[in-house]
Amino acid sequence: MTKSFEQWKVLPHGQLTQVDEGILTVTGDLHMPLVDIPRRMTVVRLKDARLVIFSAISLDAAQMQELEAYGPPSFLIVPNDHHRLDAKSWKERYPSIRVVAPRGASKKVEEVVAVDTADPQWEDPNVQFVTVPGTDEREAALVVGTTNGTTLVLNDVIGNMPGESGFGGWFLRKMGFAGDEPHIPRPVKLLMVHDKAALRQQLLKWAEIDTLKRILVSHGVPIEDRPQQTLRELADSLQ
């Protein structure tokens, strides 16, 4: 289990990028034994300008200033108990932020930061919090609608790391995290997916969103080419 940073710790990261109206994202690198793992934070601005932070990454001063100019950080989603690394330092920086975690992950998350709710009420119908079925309530997602379409924000349940190379890439592929196509990582399937049928039905439900433009994942590049078909193929892999 990944421990939480005790203070604000800035690891290598890129710049905040707007991927759609009201949606920012930034990626960074997390050094693990033998390999660096890419990770992503997504920021969603609610209709009243408050910000929802999904899978927090501690950024440098310039990027945090840009984020704060975008809106006040108000909700901190820890999407599963493996993504609590920066949660404590974010809560200390923003004491009024409400910490959100799916029920099945709350006990582990609360080892580092108190969880306020598993059912956030932010009064914006265009931003939906989802506890992913089939994961014993351990995995969270967001469905975000804008005038341009729909963005699905996922965490570990789908990975998309096609460009990993060298020893690190070989290791990630060997472990089942990286691959040429979007996939449900083998460790996730073994350790987190406890009801394949329930997850399959959720993937198929998301695939029915006609306005779906992209899928943002916590580990890997966005899925923007035929996202509905990708979801259907991943659902088929669970049969």
What is the full per-residue pLDDT of the chain (239 aa) written as tens digits? 457 888 999 999 999 999 999 999 999 998 766 677 889 999 999 999 999 999 999 999 999 999 999 999 999 999 999 999 999 999 999 999 999 999 999 999 999 999 999 999 999 999 999 999 999 999 999 999 999 999 999 999 999 877 666 766 656 666 667 677 899 988 888 888 999 999 999 999 999 999 999 999 999 899 999 999 999 999 999 98
- C-alpha distance from residue 125 to each of 38, 48, 72, 121, 142 (Å): 31, 12, 19, 10, 12
What span, in angstroms and rounded, lies between the C-alpha atoms of 214 and 232? 14
What radius of gyration do the chain's Cα atoms show? 17
Q: Is 12 helix (H, G, I), strand (E, B) or coil?
A: coil
- Whole-model pTM: value is 0.93
Sorted by where each starts, the structural domains of the chain and their CATH numbers stand as 17-236 (3.60.15.10)
